[in-house]
Amino acid sequence: MGENTGREVELTVERIAHGGISVGRLDGRVVFVADAIPGETVRARISDDRKKSFWRADAIEVLAPSEHRRDHVWPVASIARDPRQRAGGAEFGHIALSHQRELKRQVLAESLQRMAGVESDVRVEQLPGDHAANGLGWRTRIRLHVDDEGRIGPMASRSHTVIPVTDAPLASPAVQAATPFSERFTGLGTVDVLAPTVGDARLVLGEQKPTVISERVGERTFRLDDTGFWQVHREAPAALTAAVQAAIDDAAFDPRAANLDLYGGVGLLAAAVGDRFGASTRVTSVEADERATERAAENLAEWVGAAAVTGRVDRFLRELEQSASAAERARLRAATVVLDPPRAGAGTEVMAALGRLSPAQLVYVACDPVALARDVALAAQHGYRLARLRAFDLFPHTHHVEAVASLVRD
């Protein structure tokens, strides 16, 4: 850290940036400010001045508040606390819910315009129940960390410091009730608490061996490991199922084609495709996690044409390119490909391979707007354009936003 670390400055923040931080300027230098809202004037403390091009700072006092500022939904994360002692995981908790969605919209639209040259009037849709609950009580899973004294809590933002807490207001009532806030856990790194839709809430302590749970989405039940990936918001699996089904162009869908569900997890979106287009649907789910693939095979068993393959997506596509016969390539060109990559996105190699295989349409589920915009630009190099885009507030009181993009060949 340099000589400016710890210095307190007055800043007027201008706009929101990717990652949920606001942007201000100090003597012409960009300063990324946590816990401020665009339009506000704040007193901020410089936390990192190592870069020549920008500094980082934390708001410590609001001098001219935004009309959208609210009391923080989680006092342990509020601006009243020392920045080093603010709980992470609710970085938009001081902003009115409707304005949170507007800020997320701005980041998504700006990313698409800047990186892909695409103008978008996308809006961020709220999920059922969130307005009435003020964006609280939606998390069906939380991960808490253990400090040196055995107390549990989240880490502070951009830090490995554990902040002990006695509540978790973003968690569902069942998760909150099952969380052992007052207990001590020595020798453990993490404590996971989850409340599946089937059965009781449970704890997963440290590297505990996984057990199988069930989650219901509409009339369908999915089996998965309690340590495995599942959408966190109580309404997210149903919302994404419906969004993916709506994002597929019926006219371009061929149930007999070599349809793919990449980064498929336990088969949620492959099942969405199968439910939308019927018993004859062919779809292959590709997932790197072997245990998730085993669960996907069970969850997709009713479709004779469904399969679940364990493998990294980039390697799977590379082998497909190398080994596909002329008939298989034709089925791939007729295919619909659903992909739900991790936060880093699909990336250059995967998007290039998809471009060469040239499926009829791509339905891209994204949890990071910048990664999505980059991949939309990469797809454009292979003749795909963004035909439809929806965005969902799957993570109220955080900066995260989910998007579902339809990419079609011109």
Give binding residues as ranges: 231, 263, 287, 340
Let me know the angle formed at the C-alpha of 11 by 10 and 17, rounded to the nearest 5 degrees.
150
CB 378 within 8 A of CB 351: yes
Q: In what order do the strands lie in the sheet with 141-146?
A: 152-153, 141-146, 190-194, 202-205
DSSP secondary structure letter of residue 187: T
Dihedral pair phi/psi, residue 281, rounded to 5° = -65, 130
Question: Cβ contacts of residue 159 below 8 Å, gap of 6+?
Answer: 84, 88
104: closest CA among 372, 341, 347, 406?
372
Q: Is 44 exposed, middle or buried (0-12, 13-18, 19+ CB in 10 A)?
A: buried
Question: Cβ contacts of residue 77 below 8 Å, gap of 6+?
Answer: 86, 87, 88, 89, 90, 91, 93
Angle of the 236-247 helix axis to the 268-277 helix axis, nearest 10: 50
Active site residues: 367
Q: Which residues pair with 165 in a beta bridge?
A: none
- Which residues are part of a known binding site for S-adenosyl-L-methionine? 231, 263, 287, 340
Dihedral pair phi/psi, residue 248, rounded to 5° = -80, 125
Tally the residues of the chain.
410
